[in-house]
Amino acid sequence: MKSAVIGMDGKKGKDVSLPIQFSEDFRPDLIKKAVLAQQSHSIQPTGTSPLAGLRQSSFITKRRKHYKTTYGRGQSRTPRKILSRKGMNFHYVGAVAPNTVGGRVSHPPKASKIWDLKMNVQERRKAIRSAIAATMNPELVKRRGHTAESFVVEQKIEDLKKAKDVYEFLAKAGLEKELKRIAEKKIRAGIGKTRGRPYRKKKGPLFVVSKKCALLTAARNLQGIEVCIVKNLNAELLAPGTNAGRLTVWSDKALDVMDKEKLFFASVKKESKK
């Protein structure tokens, strides 16, 4: 499988062979499983205090002729506490039980709950390879809503230092409609408006580079655009929302690193020297 390399002027150059990772079968089930497992690691545990609703005593004797007894009062056996009294007449209020005002919650969320979803290493690597191959499938890319196809660009893209230069390159490469699409944002319909996420934004191109470079910070201010080092790729970046086929701009140097180091395959054991 080959692809043309786009130059910095937006014109097609020589053809390069794509690494073996791009020939993986499309497995949407594994991709979804890997994305959900990745998202589960960022869930912040929440829960109530273990003593909530239990900070008072509700012990009242039910025995005959005992002091503070409820014997013969015709009351249900709901746990109660004493608010006030006049002589031997006590004013009881329900407490502790879940059916009482100010009582405990019957089945509260617990901060000790483990949210992390586990996934086998080989399954996760296969899911990443499948998501990598899906980026070069025009049908899947179009189904995600992108207006262009993924392509390979020369290594000079990693030297761009300004967001303006990145924007101009994408315009030269024929992504004007894509840039207009990701520039739009909608006001979220729901309570999330008051929780720090008032807008819904669209995912745009993903740049994959070979190493830490200036492009990592240059594209930071462009809405919807992300940059990732090839070694740090994961299923959530390649398939946001578990939907594979994200528009991806691959650096030719990143493809060389992927092919040379056999990324996302089983690690090869080195033979010991005797």
CA distances in angstroms from 44 to 111, 116, 118, listed in the order given: 9, 10, 17
For position 134, what pLDDT does the model report?
A: 96
pLDDT band at 62 (very low <50, low <70, confident <90, very high): confident
| Residue percentage of the chain with pLDDT more than 90 | 80
pLDDT digits (tens, 9 = 90+) for 70-85: 888 888 888 999 999 8
Region 40-63: mean pLDDT is: 91
Query: What is the number of alpha carbons within 13 Å of residue 202 lying toward its C-beta?
Result: 17
Angstrom distance (rounded) from CA 242 to CA 38: 11
What is the rounded average pLDDT of the residues 183-200? 94
pLDDT, mean of residues 246-268: 90
Please say if the pLDDT value at position 248 is more than 70: yes
Q: How confident is the model at residue 273 (pLDDT cuts 50, 70, 90)?
A: low
The boundaries of every CATH 3.40.1370.10 domain in the chain are 2-43+115-261
Does 271 score more than 70 pLDDT? Answer: no
SS3 217: helix
Task: Supply the pTM of this predicted model.
Answer: 0.84
> What pLDDT, on a 0 to 100 scale, did the predictor assign at position 266?
76
pLDDT at 71: 87
Interval 129-140: pLDDT, tens: 999 999 999 999
What DSSP element (H or E) covers 72? none
> Under CATH, what is the fold of the domain 2-43+115-261?
Ribosomal Protein L4; Chain: A; (3.40.1370)
pLDDT for residue 170 is more than 60: yes
What pLDDT does residue 173 have? 94
Checking if the pLDDT of 268 tops 90, the result is no
